[in-house]
Amino acid sequence: MSWHRTTTDRWRWLVPVALVLAPVGVVSASPAVVLCAVVCVGVAAFARASPAPEPSVDCERRFRERDDGTVAVSLRVENDGSAALPDVRVVDGVPADCTVLDGTPELACSLAAGASRTLRYRVDAPESTRRFDDPFVVVADRAGRVELDARVDAGADRLGSSRPLPDAEPVALRPPTGGPPGPLTGTEAGQGLAFHSVREYRRGDPLGRVDWSRFARTGDLSTVTFRAERAPTVVLVVDARPAAYVAPAPDATSARDHAVDAARTLVTGLADAQVGLAVLGSGVSWTSPGTGRTHRARLRRQLDTDPALVTPPEGDDPAVAPLATTLRARTPADAQLCLLTPLCDDAVASLARRLDAGGTPVSVVSPDPTTTDGPGPQLAHLERGARVRDLRRAGIPVLDWTEGDAREAFARAGWSR
């Protein structure tokens, strides 16, 4: 790191002032004027004698995501040198489009040898990656005559995921039976709008729920109940096994990456649902279902950073039975699964059937990586088509996605409204 030196010469002008005052005082025989010159010279001499700082500054930046959708940023500034730094000014390199909500990314202090100070502030969690510049550090001597400035490496400089979530229309999974996204009407009585039943009045029932018409007719108090409403729970299961890392051409986008794009679209399209995420790699990487902006940011981060989704898969395909067991154990009882897979092997089709047969509704979004160029690819194409038909015969809806992006595929299939 190289420091840029600036000499301010803040007090240099005092010398000519003293050289004017001293003769004036001598000529006018005024000791007070001469002593004014002495004061000026004293300050100028101090400024000249102040040693220029030799800074050795270490900076460390940390990001911590908070539950309220903001990010707490802390920047620790440490004087690594053996001499004190009397005047240190630090400005953290916050991106221009990042809003600081609380605190300040600036610091002005003095640092003893080995001492450190931490500046803390909070920024809005960005929708996409923001790169922080290295903090700008200015170190001055005691008199402010010499200033050294440099950008000091602070380590972590990237905040947020690599891509924003796409805009998407609301998506309904299992369209024939699931209905449109939004509050699901349950079968039990509770808070809601749809009529459920009338029962005998119980002490403590709200007066607004009392059936006053019946009371007027019969004289009996009764209470109207409504069907409970709850948000649907959907777990997106992205197939990232080696068998799913296939593409129609060597330079084409892989089916796994298409599946990730579809998952990102679903995270937005299922805004009214509690959405979870499971990534099938060598094991199951799991994010429990949830709602809200912070949760969506968490899903987005996992989709962008999960090693199984960003690096080419290695090794053999894992056995499906343990994956099914893990998924079944972690999936909430009332949740449905959305399996995002190219359906290029029998194992994943078997997994979908087993889970669906086990009582967890399953729907499949399947980007088609197969081609018909030659007998081998044509055979793979036919086998995949057979798997799609088998699943549909088993009552599992399959979105067979052959072209366009995920949003178009959902619209074409009627899954988005």
Joined together, the tokens standing for residue 202 give: 């119980």
100 binds other proteins per the rule CB under 8 A: yes
Using the rule CB under 8 A, which residue among 56, 74, 110, 253 binds other proteins? 110
34 binds other proteins per the rule CB under 8 A: yes
**Residue whose CB is less far from other proteins, 3 or 286:** 3
SS3 content of the chain, % helix, strand, coil (to 5): 30, 35, 35
Burial 199-209 (b: 16+ CB within 10 A, else e): eebeeebeeee
Q: CA dist 92 to 136, 146, 179, 251, Å?
A: 6, 22, 50, 41
For every residue of 8-70, DSSP letters joined together read --TTTTHHHHHHHHHHHHHHTT-HHHHHHHHHHHHHHHHHHHSPPP---EEEEEEEEE-TTSE
Nearest to 246 by CA among 369, 417, 396, 83: 369
**Residue whose CB is less far from other proteins, 9 or 127:** 9
**Residue whose CB is less far from other proteins, 138 or 259:** 138
Number of residues that bind other proteins (CB under 8 A): 61
**Residue whose CB is less far from other proteins, 33 or 247:** 33
19 binds other proteins per the rule CB under 8 A: yes
Using the rule CB under 8 A, which residue among 1, 5, 28, 334 binds other proteins? 28
For residue 386, give the 3-state DSSP assignment.
Answer: helix
- Residue 393 sits at φ, ψ, to 5 deg, of -65, -30
390 binds other proteins per the rule CB under 8 A: no
CB of 114 to other proteins, least distance (A): 18
93 binds other proteins per the rule CB under 8 A: yes
CB of 69 to other proteins, least distance (A): 18
22 binds other proteins per the rule CB under 8 A: yes
**Rounded to whole angstroms, how far apart are CA atoms 335 and 363?**
12
Span of 81-89, 224-232, 372-380, 383-391 interacting with other proteins by CB under 8 A:
81-89
Using the rule CB under 8 A, which residue among 1, 39, 83, 386 binds other proteins? 39
53 binds other proteins per the rule CB under 8 A: no
Binding mask 321-360 for other proteins (x = CB under 8 A): ----------------------------------------
CB of 66 to other proteins, least distance (A): 18
Cβ–Cβ < 8 Å for 56, 91:
no
Non-local (6+) Cβ contacts of 166 within 8 A are 261, 264, 265, 268, 406, 407
**Rounded to whole angstroms, how far apart are CA atoms 169 and 266?**
9
**Rounded to whole angstroms, how far apart are CA atoms 84 and 93?**
25
Partnered with residue 287 across adjacent β-strands are 277
**Residue whose CB is less far from other proteins, 49 or 194:** 49
15 binds other proteins per the rule CB under 8 A: yes
74 binds other proteins per the rule CB under 8 A: no
104 binds other proteins per the rule CB under 8 A: yes
Span of 147-155, 188-196, 272-280, 316-324 interacting with other proteins by CB under 8 A:
147-155
136 binds other proteins per the rule CB under 8 A: yes
Q: How many helices (H) and strands (E) does the chain have?
A: 11, 19
Joined together, the tokens standing for residue 318 give: 């894992």
Using the rule CB under 8 A, which residue among 5, 7, 13, 332 binds other proteins? 13
Contacts with other proteins by CB under 8 A lie at 4, 8, 10, 13-15, 17-19, 21-26, 28-46, 48-49, 86-87, 89-91, 93-94, 100, 102, 104-110, 133, 136, 138, 142-144, 149-151
